[in-house]
Amino acid sequence: MNLALAGNILAAGQDAHCQLLRFQTHQQKGKNKAEKAGSKEQGPRQRKGTAPAEKKSGAETHQEGAELRVENLQAVQTDFGPDPLQKVVCFNHDNTLLASGGTDGYIRVWKVPSLEKVLEFKAHEGEIEDLALGPDGKLVTVGWDLKASVWQKDQLVTQLHWQENGPTFSNTPYRYQACRFGQVPDQPASLRLFTVQIPHKRLRQPQPCYLTAWDGSTFLPLRTKSCGHEVISCLSVSESGTFLGLGTVTGSVAIYIAFSLQRLYYVKEAHGIVVTDVAFLPEKGRGPELLGSHETALFSVAVDSRCQMHLLPSRRSVPVWLLLLLCVGLIVMTILLLQSAFPGFL
């Protein structure tokens, strides 16, 4: 139902439990034994005329690719509500701790890989919708009680106040749907928090959803923009903090620039059903090689059991030297025009 990745470790939610898995990738090369053997022992008897061709085809078939080996490490129950369900799981910055939240409103923090519980506290009245762990140890949680809270361990630091500072609708309460920390490009020591706000109740007249950027130290809102009337289901931030990815309950996918919250890419109903998660292609390792001439790539998965890759073409920009040359040319042209219109101008 939910998943977090830390190197070669997976934390996967299964009902009320969290499964900790380790995976390894192996290159698989060699002949396909099943095809080589043919259907000698299974299936209906083949006609004699077709047997030699099938045998030859099977002998020439090779199987090449990557094999994924998965090992179970630990499992632990993380939610204890009347209808228990783990809804979100997240690793900390150095992958030594794991935080989980579910329908009982409690945040539980676990050691990795032993899954020994180190912290437990009540964060929300009702279900926890999302959580984000910052590199400074702060934890942000959002829940169905319409609150977004910032914690240092189990101590409440502050609460986010969006509706008081942003667009308000007297008859439309909003709740926080997702939260993610992201780096500030060119400022490695700074952080931004990004949240998505959606209408708490479905109305006959759809209300817009909103995307908000917050200061990562003061947790004051920096800017808010509407992201359309489709209800947002998931949020992701690129590795460098440059881009934001959004998925909707109607299957649409969008990419925004984090600085201005401007939409750069949008595909309406790319899946046609709820997008359950989006993730950017890593910007290190083989990421740049795979991107080629594109600026970024966003993967989306949905209830239709499909994974799609969305490529953002590189945006064309005018070189600085060309802008300076154009400015000088405009100045010279203006002077010449003034000189011709007014001979004694210079």
- pLDDT digits over 86-142, tens only? 999 999 999 999 999 999 999 999 999 999 999 999 999 999 999 999 988 999 999
Position 318 scores a pLDDT of 60
Structural tokens at position 135: 């590199």
Please state, in angstroms and rounded to a whole number, the distance separating the CA atoms of residues 210 and 127.
21
Q: Is residue 210 domain-shared with residue 95, that is, in the same domain?
A: yes
- Clarify whether residues 233 and 340 are in a common domain: no
Q: Do the domain assignments include residue 96?
A: yes
pLDDT attached to residue 211: 96
Residue 247 is predicted with a pLDDT of 97
Distance CA 105, CA 101 (A): 7
Kindly report the backbone phi and psi dihedral angles of residue 310, in degrees, each rounded to the nearest multiple of 5, phi listed first: -115, 120
The answer as to whether 303 is a domain residue is yes
pLDDT at position 270 over 60 = yes
172/150 Cα distance (integer angstroms)? 24
65-69, 101-105, 161-165, 266-270, range with the lowest pLDDT:
161-165
Phi-psi region of 160 (alpha: psi -120 to 50; beta: other; left: phi over 0): beta
Residues 93 and 178 grouped into a single domain: yes
Are 325 and 314 contained in the same domain? no
Q: What are the pLDDT digits (tens) for 292-328?
A: 889 999 999 999 999 999 999 887 666 677 778 888 8
Total number of domains constituting the chain: 2
CB neighbour burial string for 273-297, b if at least 16 within 10 angstroms, e if fewer: ebbbbbbbbeeeeeeeeebeeebbb
The pLDDT score that the predictor gives to residue 164 is: 75
- 296: Cβ contacts below 8 Å, ≥ 6 apart: 238, 242, 243, 255, 280, 281, 283, 311, 312
Does residue 330 carry a pLDDT above 70?
Answer: yes
Chain mean pLDDT for the chain: 86
The residue range of the domain holding 329 is: 319-345
Asked if residue 121 and residue 270 are part of one domain, the reply reads yes
Q: Are residues 221 and 324 in the same domain?
A: no
The answer to whether position 278 is within a domain reads yes
Q: Which two tokens stand for residue 122?
A: 């009540």
Nearest Cα residue to 280 out of 320, 243, 251:
243
pLDDT for res 38: 47
Neighbours of 257 (CB within 10 A): 15
Highest mean predicted confidence (pLDDT) among 50-54, 103-107, 196-200 = 103-107
Are residue 161 and residue 111 in the same domain, yes or no?
A: yes
Q: Are 20 and 8 in contact (CB under 8 A)?
A: no
Answer yes or no: do 325 and 218 share one domain.
no
The CATH number given to whatever domain includes residue 258 is 2.130.10.10
Both 289 and 324 in one domain: the answer is no
The verdict on 123 and 210 lying in the same domain is yes
pLDDT score recorded for residue 49: 47
Report pLDDT for 82.
93
Region at 224 (left for phi over 0; alpha for psi -120 to 50; beta for the rest): beta
Question: What is the number of other CB atoms lying within 10 angstroms of the CB of residue 27?
Answer: 8
Residue 34 lies in a domain: no
pLDDT of residue 166: 64
Judgement on whether residues 161 and 290 belong to the same structural domain of the protein: yes
Whether 143 shows a pLDDT value over 90: the answer reads yes
In a domain, 193, yes or no: yes
pLDDT band at 29 (very low <50, low <70, confident <90, very high): low
Whether residue 210 sits in one domain with residue 332: no
**How much is the pTM?**
0.81
Tell me, what's the pLDDT at 316?
64
Residue whose entry in the numeric block shows the structure tokens 């809270």: 149
